[in-house]
A and B are shown apart, each in its own frame.
Chain A
Amino acid sequence: MKNSFYLAFQYIWYHKIRTLILVASITIIIFIPNGLEKLITESEVRMMDRAATTPLIVGEKGSSTDLVINSLYFQDEKLEPISMAEVNELNSLGFGYCIPILTGFNARSYPIVGTTLDYLKFRNISFSEGKKMASLGDCILGYNVAEELNLKTGDHIISSPESFFDFAGVYPLKMKITGILNPTNTPDDRAIFTDIKNTWIIMGIGHGHQDLADESDPTLVMDNEDGVVTATAKVFMYNEITDKNKDSFHFHGQQQDFPVSSMLFVPKDEKSLTILRGRFESGEIETQAVVPQQVVRNLLNSIFRIKQIFDGVFIAVGFATLLIFILIMTLTIRLRKDEINTLEIIGSSRFKVAGILSMEIAIMFIASLAFAFILYFVSGYYVNTFIEKFIL
């Protein structure tokens, strides 16, 4: 056995390139289906976790998948907004409370999530440094945002202008970072949270500008008659909210008309949730309510169907690889006819020769399994990062 192993090892070591190609092929064939299985299983757990902890999402009628993806994972799906009036209406029913979410804006390619402080409480997120946002112009960063952009409490981040909700001209807003959240291994790590009122300011619904009554520059006012002050375009609009200018910030229109992408509904109890869902299903409430768990389950089922196709492909490719391997081994035995004869002449039995050849195959399979295991282990270490970056 020891001798057979020695001869087999010396042979495959001598034919390094051929061995390497065979081992690499077998490694890949073993690794890919298992790695994919791990990725999908892990993604499923993570996605279902997030969905399971969110009882109900309410938004404008349309794609339920887009609604869930936008509300849970802050993906840049285009959602028709609902209004704050609908949030207030749902709150007034007494079945629980709503957490409004307004997305669609970014800062340095990270999503800005306009919401209320209830969101942090609902998701049970704590701070690694700093504290909650206190005033207009404040924001808090998810753990990864702070790490990747090397930002800390007291620094600023500027929103990127977008055209999606461009009702009245979108101004970049310089926001002060008041806190950094602890890592949660969820999309919250890659988001910038701010009060929903800030998001309305980014949208241009609210703004701050020079006080037209107090300014000494006459070119700021075009006309002033009976209390109707018409300003010129020269009026300076603030892009940062400070203690000095925060009183000048104001919103145009009624807050109940302001847009919201969606809302998370947190029911008082199971009974309240059931009654509320009944009202949505009967059409009494015009917006759409979805149970994220059901939507994510459907989404995952689609992914599983695709995985089944992949599994079939991998079985076919694996079978083809096996055939090629057998062919290579058969041809190798033919090429090694003289070597085998020599072994027999010097007294080696046929059984011993077969043992040496089997040992060669076993070494290559064991090496492939080892490499596949290492790859599986290493990829497992990065699977969370991969899921966060490319799936969630």
Chain B
Amino acid sequence: MRGTSSSVLFLLIISWIIFSCSPDKKSNQQKEGNTKPFVAVVNYPLYSLTDMIGGDRIEVFFPEIEGDPAYWQPDEASIEKFQDADLILLNGADYAKWTGTVSLPASTQVNTSKFFSHRLIEMKGEVHSHGPEGEHSHTGYAFTTWLDMKNAALHAEAIKEALINLIPDEKDFFNVNYIKIIDKLNKLDSQLAEITGTTDELELFASHPVYQYLGKGYDISIISYHWEPDQMPFDESWKEFENELDHHSARAMFWEDEPLPEISGKLESMGVKVVVFMPGGNRNEFDFISLMAKNVENLKKGLN
């Protein structure tokens, strides 16, 4: 009888120890699961580069966006995610204007174009005048900065620096990943320089004014339009384009995506090749390096 009581008491003590300990263990595990720093980014190139540098040491958040992230307007849930992030990586150059109209903690924001802010391309806005301050215009910057591979490398450097500040213990890990990326970007940069360097005063058309940095970085004079790949331009636009053809040496046109076959056909009938050069601001099936490699390949084909 005494032996049974001792066993019961022993089992009770063991059960109490197990039950009193297990919730703590669970919460610790949960905590461990959530200790990965949360990094929020404003576009896909930053997402891709951050993911490649940060690897499994961080959790990268880039919201699901329909359309161009540059003109996205976040909902309250997304704003809260950005507000609670340990690090917010901005593109700079006025990209994602929404960041200027919401309240985000300044201490967690990093402008990843800070290393080339002096090289940003200014875009003059409409000049207008009202109220007591008189005539003024709202100037901005061209924002597809990453299309110049030298800029992309500097974005990567700013990301690496921000991640090291966030998790100093992982400095070596981030540096190793960064160097791998830089090697690839340098290679792409050399390829672009080689492709575009073969022609003096290279001129190209662009379906959209998003290739400013590509033009500036590789000495391409770009004549931009506002054409959409899935919409046939109006006859008037074609007439204007034909007139421009007579005044320019450009015989290829950059497109953000594969244009409609009718558009490609018409351009080819005019002797203008289609070069799909995807800026890749939004989520796509490739990582940033692969997408740019594909773009470089397309340009090479287009210019040949």
Name the residue on A nearest B139 (C-beta): A254
Tell me which of B101, B103, B106, B133 contacts A132 (CB under 8 A).
Answer: B103
In the complex, whether A352 has a CB less than 8 A from a CB of chain B is no
Let me know if B103 and A195 touch, CB within 8 A: yes
Minimum Cβ distance to chain B for residue A324 (Å): 64
In which size bucket is the chain B interface?
20 to 34
Cα distance A97–B87 in the bound complex, in angstroms = 13
Q: What 0/1 pattern do residues 84 to 98 of A give for CB contact below 8 A with B?
A: 000000010000011
Cα distance A195–B107 in the bound complex, in angstroms = 14
**A291 neighbours in B (Cβ, 8 Å):** none
Tell me which of B103, B106, B127, B130 contacts A134 (CB under 8 A).
Answer: B103
Tell me which of B101, B102, B128, B131 contacts A233 (CB under 8 A).
Answer: B131
Let me know if B129 and A229 touch, CB within 8 A: yes
In the complex, whether A231 has a CB less than 8 A from a CB of chain B is yes
Cα distance A138–B104 in the bound complex, in angstroms = 12
Let me know if B80 and A169 touch, CB within 8 A: no
In the complex, whether B76 has a CB less than 8 A from a CB of chain A is yes
Let me know if B129 and A231 touch, CB within 8 A: yes
Minimum Cβ distance to chain B for residue A259 (Å): 15
**B107 neighbours in A (Cβ, 8 Å):** 97, 99, 116, 118, 121, 266
**A252 neighbours in B (Cβ, 8 Å):** 133, 136, 138
Let me know if B131 and A229 touch, CB within 8 A: no
Tell me which of B106, B127, B138 has the highest count of chain A C-beta atoms within 10 A of its own C-beta: B106
CB contact under 8 A between A230 and B128, given known A131-B80, A168-B133, A252-B133: yes
Segment 64-100 of A: residues with Cβ below 8 Å from B: 91, 97-100
Minimum Cβ distance to chain A for residue B100 (Å): 7
Let me know if B131 and A134 touch, CB within 8 A: no
Q: What 0/1 pattern do residues 145 to 177 of A give for CB contact below 8 A with B?
A: 000000000000000000000001100000000
Tell me which of B101, B106, B127, B135 contacts A135 (CB under 8 A).
Answer: B101
**B102 neighbours in A (Cβ, 8 Å):** 134-136
In the complex, whether A312 has a CB less than 8 A from a CB of chain B is no
**B182 neighbours in A (Cβ, 8 Å):** none
Name the residue on A nearest B78 (C-beta): A134
In the complex, whether B79 has a CB less than 8 A from a CB of chain A is yes
CB contact under 8 A between A116 and B126, given known A168-B133, A249-B101, A250-B138: no
Let me know if A134 and B128 touch, CB within 8 A: no
Q: Between A and B, how many residue pairs show CB distances below 8 Å?
A: 90
Minimum Cβ distance to chain B for residue A313 (Å): 50
**A91 neighbours in B (Cβ, 8 Å):** 106
Cα distance A53–B133 in the bound complex, in angstroms = 41
Segment 100-145 of A: residues with Cβ below 8 Å from B: 100, 116-118, 121, 131-136, 138
CB contact under 8 A between A237 and B106, given known A131-B80, A246-B101: no
**A136 neighbours in B (Cβ, 8 Å):** 101-102
In the complex, whether A375 has a CB less than 8 A from a CB of chain B is no
Name the residue on A nearest B135 (C-beta): A230
Tell me which of B105, B126, B128, B131 contacts A117 (CB under 8 A).
Answer: B105
In the complex, whether A369 has a CB less than 8 A from a CB of chain B is no
In the complex, whether A38 has a CB less than 8 A from a CB of chain B is no
Let me know if B104 and A117 touch, CB within 8 A: yes
The segment from A28-36, A43-51, A205-213 found at the interface with B is A205-213
Minimum Cβ distance to chain A for residue B241 (Å): 22
Cα distance A118–B106 in the bound complex, in angstroms = 7
Cα distance A135–B103 in the bound complex, in angstroms = 6
In the complex, whether B83 has a CB less than 8 A from a CB of chain A is yes
Let me know if A227 and B131 touch, CB within 8 A: no
Cα distance A57–B3 in the bound complex, in angstroms = 72
Let me know if A118 and B136 touch, CB within 8 A: no
Cα distance A136–B128 in the bound complex, in angstroms = 23
Cα distance A121–B126 in the bound complex, in angstroms = 39
In the complex, whether A340 has a CB less than 8 A from a CB of chain B is no
Let me know if B130 and A118 touch, CB within 8 A: no
Tell me which of B127, B130, B133, B135 has the highest count of chain A C-beta atoms within 10 A of its own C-beta: B130
Segment 56-70 of B: residues with Cβ below 8 Å from A: none
Ranked 5 nearest A-B pairs via Cβ: A231-B130, A97-B107, A229-B128, A228-B127, A117-B105
List the interface of chain A (C-beta within 8 A of B): 91, 97-100, 116-118, 121, 131-136, 138, 168-169, 195, 197, 207, 209, 212-213, 222, 227-233, 235, 237, 246-247, 249-250, 252, 266
Apart from the given pairs A212-B130, A247-B101, 20 other A-B contacts in the complex at a CB distance below 8 Å: A91-B106, A97-B107, A99-B106, A99-B107, A117-B103, A132-B103, A134-B76, A134-B83, A136-B101, A168-B132, A197-B100, A197-B101, A209-B130, A212-B128, A222-B129, A228-B126, A228-B129, A228-B135, A230-B135, A252-B133
Q: List 16 A-B contacts (CB under 8 A).
A: A117-B106, A118-B107, A135-B79, A135-B102, A135-B103, A136-B102, A197-B100, A197-B103, A207-B131, A228-B127, A228-B128, A231-B128, A231-B130, A247-B73, A252-B136, A266-B107
